[in-house]
Amino acid sequence: MFNFAEFLTYVSAASLFYVYIGYPTLIAALATFVRRRRPAPGSDDDLPTVSVLIAAYNEEKSIGRKIQQTLALSYPAEKLEIVVVSDASTDGTDSIVSAFRDPRVRLLRMSQRRGKTHAQNQGIKICRGEIVAFSDATTVYHPQALRFLACNYQNASVGAASGRYQYFDPSGDSPTGLGTIAFWNYENQIKTLQSRIKTITGCCGCIYSVRRNLYTELPDDIISDLVQPLWIIQKGYRVAFEDRALAYEETTKSANAEFAMRVRIITRGIRGLLSVPNLLKPWKHGWVSFQLFSHKVLRWMVPFFLIILLAGSALLVRHPGFRYLVYLQGLFYLSALVSGWVPIHRRWRPLGVPLYFCTLNAAALFSVIEVLRGKKYIVWETARSRG
């Protein structure tokens, strides 16, 4: 029993180390041998035409501001259009969009609510731009964001380009706010390294773009910002990460809202990855397959590694080293539990990090169960409306 428990404990600890430290360290080392020149934004004449596609459901509070902000971006007016796809909104979203007299703003209303991916599938059919950039109604772009995204397409091998999330917690009250900010800064660094080596395998949902002629229509239950790039890769193109193209998003207001959002995203992500099984075959797509296993599959397995680590170290609690390991885990989970009930993060914000970590991995565990149950997430609500 001791040997088996010890073996499982070491394996789970090694797996966790690899996921969070080993893999990023490995690609950081590999990236030092690659020199990839950053594309320059170029002149207005060199920029492609861009359609900004916004899938929206009941976004009357933010859609007007989003359109105004997009029209004000530093991009040639004659090369920019905005297509808002209303997923059968029941509030004032449609009338707000229709009130814009600028011919560059167009509304496409769905007669039946079928979710974000379906809305994008339909919206892209009326887009005129060479490049289609996908955004959310609540996302604020840096003024130069579209220029930085678009300049990547100067390279004919680039089929898609993703911008970078920059989360912020304006009030400082979100129990998972600092954890969200820290985690996505960490994720952005990984994407930067992946892109420098070859290609990223997933985009940031509220700021990514594709060549319109390479877009693949996806099933309604598939998450587009993961699977659309994977189809681009299967077609022989790179997916670039452009860290200068910033999208500002507010963190969720509660751990419950974060959990619900992550369950929907991860469940759709797992189902999405299963829809492109060829990319998981290392003998066909070696580097891409390695990235997907290291950065996606093993990430979704983390809650199982954590459970095994806790159970294994508990069985070995009589041994001093494992006893301290149990104490450390207990303290970590206790701080997360307390943070969920008492706003101790307001005293010292780093105390919210364990709660975010546990929320994220609890969502991954629940998502795996949902996939096994055959659950599909198709329609959506903004995290702020649930917060």
Alpha-carbon distance of 219 to 216, in angstroms, equals 10
Beta partners for residue 82, in sequence order:
52, 105
Beta partners for residue 141, in sequence order:
247
Tens of pLDDT, residues 354-370: 899 999 999 999 999 99
Q: Mean of the pLDDT values across residues 26-47?
A: 91
* Antiparallel, parallel or unpaired: β 131-135 and 208-211: antiparallel
Tens of pLDDT, residues 161-198: 999 989 888 777 777 778 888 899 999 999 999 999 99
- pLDDT at residue 384 in the model: 43
More confident residue, 251 or 286: 286
DSSP string, 58-85: S-TTTHHHHHHHHHTSSS-GGGEEEEEE
- pLDDT at residue 385 in the model: 38
Return the number of other C-beta atoms located less than 10 Å from residue 368's C-beta: 17
Beta partners for residue 208, in sequence order:
134, 162
Token pair of 24 as six digits: 């990023």
Please calculate the CA angle 193-199-205 and round it to the nearest 5 degrees: 90
- pLDDT at residue 12 in the model: 96
* Antiparallel, parallel or unpaired: β 131-135 and 50-56: parallel
Mean pLDDT of all residues belonging to the chain: 92
31: region left, alpha or beta (phi > 0 left; psi from -120 to 50 alpha): alpha
Q: Mean of the pLDDT values across residues 69-86?
A: 97
Alpha-carbon distance of 228 to 230, in angstroms, equals 5
Tens of pLDDT, residues 279-330: 999 999 999 999 999 999 999 999 999 999 999 999 988 888 889 999 999 9
Contact predicate 140/206, CB 8 Å: no
> Reduced to 3 states, what is the DSSP secondary structure of residue 24?
helix
Domains within the chain, CATH numbers bracketed:
1-387 (3.90.550.10)
Beta partners for residue 80, in sequence order:
50
What does the chain come to in residues? 387
| Residue of 298, 226, 229 lying closest to 269 (CA atoms) | 226
Alpha-carbon distance of 206 to 246, in angstroms, equals 10
pLDDT interval class at 386 (50, 70, 90): very low
Buried b (16+ CB within 10 A) or exposed e, 347-366: eebebbbbbbbbbbbbbbbb
Q: Tell the residue number behind the tokens 């002149």, with chain if given.
A: 43
> Reduced to 3 states, what is the DSSP secondary structure of residue 247?
strand
Buried b (16+ CB within 10 A) or exposed e, 166-204: bbebeeeebbbbbbbbbbbeebbebbbbbbbbbbbbbbb
Contact predicate 292/280, CB 8 Å: yes
Nearby residues of 185 by Cβ (< 8 Å), 6 or more positions away: none
- pLDDT at residue 364 in the model: 97
pTM for the full predicted model = 0.90
| Residue of 318, 316, 332, 218 lying closest to 271 (CA atoms) | 218
Q: Containing H/E element for 288?
A: helix 286-292
Token pair of 277 as six digits: 């099984």
pLDDT interval class at 349 (50, 70, 90): low
pLDDT interval class at 277 (50, 70, 90): very high
Contact predicate 138/210, CB 8 Å: no
Distance in angstroms between the alpha carbons of the first and the last residue of the chain: 46
Q: Is the pLDDT of residue 374 over 70?
A: yes
| Residue of 154, 362, 372 lying closest to 274 (CA atoms) | 372
DSSP string, 127-176: --SSEEEEE-TT-EE-TTHHHHHHHGGGSTTEEEEEEEEEEE-SSS--TT
